């Protein structure tokens, strides 16, 4: 791989921002690396190392997020990551930014050093690293993740003597122990569902699975006898990434591949429950999952791809031009949301993560008339909203009728009042958007 070195003669750029030419060179090197199937990694590491050496003592870049990202790119290829972090802290690279602590803690967690990761979160919070709310939210999610891995004794001392709630007044439906118990209970049913494909081995395809840091367009991965041509990233979360893909290179057959690590079959189960409980007339409002490929290290969920974007995208499209969505359209989408929730709750399902990001917009290809609007028939079946991302879905039929839940969805800005006040909740979890 040819790595372009920064042009020292470009004095106009260098005088104001000496780091910029390096950033452009690193971006070019990364692009070539991805396209070249990750060859030339040593050259890229050398470029990153040289950049850090040149600028690590420049006060101009101590709080520059761009420089922080260069450190983390370098870190991924470094064996002694803790030594690198200690150096970053010593020379005060972005110590006031929450990303430093979030990324450091994730590295430690991946190595199984949970107590050390917990301490890193606490250090960042004590320093009031910004944005502080994001850091606190990441810390809470971290505590949720490790709650099922640690024994009961250590759980009670994780937060320096501050007890983690035992949820006596209800059940946390998203705790590791609850999820593990439910997956055991449904396993016999799960393995019989159409589209369920499981292996006890790690994913070992000829082509590596795509990821945000290793995304090559037109990469083709083979799953279950089908070839999926990756066309881009459609979404990304804390534990999963979603990619747009052509099936067997056919642009008319487009799907979404949701790749999650570790493997997570629960969402596939929720989609099959929707197939069974929601009427045919309303089923298109909740997304479809064709199949799931489960491996010991990851799962790949194959779903319908809806290209029109989310409600959040629609709202933002108005915001950027200084306008607001028309009132009649707001009313229409509100009716759609209420109908979606009413149908779900009637069949004993709670979505658990109801927010604009998870509501896709659907447009019919046929002309709309007043006929069929009230009963959602004809072209209106394909018009409206579609609720996706069922990873936090709750099947009430797996719990006693009088159940009350405790626990927090940890979705900033969309937590119901009961979650915020640590009170029991049930259907209130879905009313935070209303």
pLDDT at position 1: 36
- In the predicted structure, residue 390 carries a pLDDT above the cut 70: yes
- In the predicted structure, residue 291 carries a pLDDT above the cut 60: yes
**Over the chain, what HEC string results?**
CCCCCCCCCCHHHHHHCCHHHHHHHHHHHHHHHHHCCCCCHHHHHHHHHHHHHHHCCCHHHCCCHHHHHHHHHHHHCCCCHHHHHHHHHHCCCCCCEHHHHHHHHHHHHHCCCHHHHHHHHHHHHHCCCECHHHHHHHHHHHHHHHHCCCCHHHHCCCECCECCCCCCCCECCCCHHHHHHHHHHHHHHHCCCCCEEECCCCCCCCCCCCECCECCCCCEEEECCEEEEEEEEEEECCCEEEEEEEECCEEEEEEEEEEECCCCCHHHHHHHHHHHHCCCCCHHHHCCEEEEEECCCCEEEEEECCCCCEHHHHHHHHHCCCCCCCHHHHHHHHHHHHHHHHHHHHCCEECCCCCHHHEEEECCCCCCCCCCCCCCCHHHHHCEEEECCCCCCEEHHHCCCCCCECCCCCCCCCCCHHHHCCCCECHHHHCCCC
- In the predicted structure, residue 54 carries a pLDDT above the cut 50: yes
- In the predicted structure, residue 254 carries a pLDDT above the cut 90: yes
* Report field, pTM of the whole predicted structure over 0.75: no
Active site residue 382: no
Neighbour tally for 1: CB within 10 Å? 15
Greater confidence (420 vs 35) lies with 420
What digits encode the pLDDT tens for the residues 333-350? 999 999 999 999 999 999
pLDDT at position 120: 86
Greater confidence (215 vs 320) lies with 320
Average of per-residue pLDDT across 58-69: 88
pLDDT band at 154 (very low <50, low <70, confident <90, very high): very low
Supply the mean pLDDT for the chain: 81
Average of per-residue pLDDT across 396-410: 86
pLDDT at position 259: 93
| The one catalytic residue among 31, 45, 194, 353 | 353
Q: What percent of the chain has pLDDT over 70?
A: 82
367 CB-near residues (< 8 Å, 6+ apart): 379
- In the predicted structure, residue 167 carries a pLDDT above the cut 60: no
Min mean pLDDT across 33-47, 56-70, 184-198, 222-236 is at 33-47
């Amino acid at each position: 791989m040819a790595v372009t070195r920064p042009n020292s003669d470009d004095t106009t750029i260098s005088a104001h921002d000496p780091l910029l030419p390096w950033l452009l060179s690193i971006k070019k090197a990364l692009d070539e690396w991805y396209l070249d199937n990750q060859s030339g990694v040593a050259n890229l590491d050398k470029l990153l190392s040289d950049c850090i050496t040149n600028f690590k003592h420049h006060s101009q870049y101590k709080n520059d997020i761009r420089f922080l990202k260069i450190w983390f790119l370098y870190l991924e290829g470094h064996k002694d990551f803790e030594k690198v972090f200690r150096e970053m802290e010593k020379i005060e690279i972005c110590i006031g930014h929450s990303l430093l602590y979030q990324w450091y803690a994730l590295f430690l967690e991946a190595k199984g050093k949970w107590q050390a990761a917990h301490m890193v979160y606490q250090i960042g919070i004590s320093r009031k690293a910004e944005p502080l709310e994001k850091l606190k939210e990441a810390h809470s999610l971290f505590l949720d993740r490790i709650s099922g891995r640690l024994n009961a004794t250590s759980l009670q001392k994780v937060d320096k003597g501050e007890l983690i709630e035992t949820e006596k007044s209800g059940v946390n439906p998203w705790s590791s122990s609850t999820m593990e118990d439910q997956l055991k209970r449904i396993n016999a049913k799960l393995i019989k569902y159409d589209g369920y494909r499981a292996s006890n081995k790690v994913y070992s395809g000829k082509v590596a699975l795509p990821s945000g840091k290793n995304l090559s367009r037109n990469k083709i991965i083979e799953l279950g006898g089908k070839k999926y041509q990756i066309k881009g990233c459609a979404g990304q979360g804390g534990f999963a990434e979603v990619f747009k893909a052509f099936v067997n290179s056919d642009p008319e057959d487009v799907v979404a591949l949701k790749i999650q690590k570790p493997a997570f079959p629960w969402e596939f189960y929720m989609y099959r429950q929707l197939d069974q409980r929601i009427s045919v007339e309303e089923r298109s409002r909740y997304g479809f999952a064709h199949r799931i490929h489960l491996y010991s290290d990851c799962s790949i969920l194959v779903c319908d791809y809806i290209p029109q974007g989310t409600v959040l995208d629609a709202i933002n499209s108005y915001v950027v031009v200084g306008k607001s969505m028309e009132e009649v359209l707001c009313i229409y989408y509100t009716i759609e949301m209420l109908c979606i929730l009413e149908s779900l709750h009637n069949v004993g399902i709670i979505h658990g993560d109801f927010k604009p990001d998870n509501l896709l917009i659907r447009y019919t290809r046929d002309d709309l008339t007043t006929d069929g609007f009230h009963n959602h028939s004809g072209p209106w079946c394909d018009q409206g909203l579609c609720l996706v991302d069922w990873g936090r879905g709750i099947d009430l039929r797996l719990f006693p009728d009088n159940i009350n839940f405790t626990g927090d969805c940890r979705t900033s800005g969309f937590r119901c009042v009961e979650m915020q006040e640590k009170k029991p909740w049930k259907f209130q979890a879905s009313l935070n958007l209303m």
